Amino acid sequence: MMKEKIAACRAQIDEALSKIASGEQLKEFHARFLGKAGAITALMRDLGQIPKEERPAAGQLINEFKNSVTERFKALEAEVAKREMQAKYDSESVDVSMPAVMHAPGALHPTSLVKARLCEVFAGMGFRVWEGSEIEDDYHNFTALNTPKDHPARDKQDTFYIGEDIVLRTHTSPGQIHCMETMKPPFKVVMPGRVFRCDDDATHTPMFHQIEGLVIDRHVSLCDLQGLLDTLAKAMFTPDTKTRFRPSYFPFTEPSVEVDVSCCECGGSGCRLCKGTGWIEILGGGVVNRRVIANCGLDPDEWTGLAFGAGLDRIAMLKYGVNNIHILYDGDQSILRQFRK
């Protein structure tokens, strides 16, 4: 009885095994014959219905049958896995003769080039490079820089307030305060970074870049500033670039100056770029106001300072002949590619 059942089952199994070609079919086979609800398990269950004395022999037959099926199943499983792996390898093979997707090399942005060059020049004069936070409190951005709440100079800068007394810095000058508060004088620092103002036209964007310079030492004077800025101008433009100081006003410097360089376009003879004057303004600076030094807890009778602030985008525009600041921020590859070395 059991022998016949096994023979019938074996016939089914032989047929099923011969048709298996995929992992999916293997799974189905396992469920149909070897799984908990499978045919061989059903044979085991049938044991209960046959006479007690025949059971051990029948049980042994079923076990042998199950073992042999399991063995064949495992062998086939290994073979199918091998075949499927081979098919995968074949289908994923790489065609080395296909033309490659070309990735053009990137380039440093003109503003980054100017920033890197200036940091290099100042590092060569013993300055350290320090980068502050783009979010400042009102105190560091204005008050400590001798620009109190009712000061008319605050009107000059339309500021992004992002909280009560918290602003996106309108200039890199708050870096001066942080340095004087934390560094031991004498020291020399340059501070490049992003700054923000509500401004948007051909020469202004809401975000732009400045570099701030600060020297704190004993007995520094406007002559030292002129020497520094002359070095800056010659390194940035050409070795024969000249600089000149014009009197100006900033709350945080006294005296204050605006600094012009001889026009990089015409060399000083007068052209459209310099509006016929031969000079182009590039930055503001001066001798650090005694009040600013005192605000930072230093003795203004002992320590003196020089400071300047320059627009990096403006210098990049002058240096590379870009006439609209938006060109620097449009992300136009055909323009930016030209700065690839």
Residues near ligand DAH, by CB under 6 A: 171, 173, 212, 250, 252-253, 284-286, 307-309
Q: Which helix (H) or strand (E) holds 312?
A: helix 312-320
38/192 with CB nearer ligand DAH: 192
Residue 229 CB partners (closer than 8 Å, separation 6+): 243, 259, 283, 285, 308
Q: b/e for 138-167, b at 16 or more Cβ within 10 A?
A: bebbbbbbbbeeeeeebeebebeeeeeeeb
130/252 with CB nearer ligand DAH: 252
- For the purposes of burial, counting CB atoms within 10 Å of the CB of 34, is it exposed (0-12), middle (13-18) or buried (19 or more)? middle
Shortest distance (Å) from residue 210 CB to ligand DAH: 6
**Nearest-angstrom CA–CA distance, 269 and 199:** 32
Which contacts of 222-226 are long-range, i.e. CB under 8 A and separated by 24 or more positions? 222/255, 222/257, 222/286, 222/287, 222/306, 224/306, 225/257, 225/285, 225/286, 225/287, 225/306, 225/308
111/253 with CB nearer ligand DAH: 253
20/307 with CB nearer ligand DAH: 307
Residue of this chain nearest to ligand DAH (CB atom): 309
153/273 with CB nearer ligand DAH: 153
Shortest distance (Å) from residue 269 CB to ligand DAH: 29
264/310 with CB nearer ligand DAH: 310
Q: Which helix (H) or strand (E) holds 79?
A: helix 55-91
Shortest distance (Å) from residue 331 CB to ligand DAH: 25
Shortest distance (Å) from residue 253 CB to ligand DAH: 4
Shortest distance (Å) from residue 267 CB to ligand DAH: 26
Which amino acid, 228?
L
Shortest distance (Å) from residue 215 CB to ligand DAH: 11
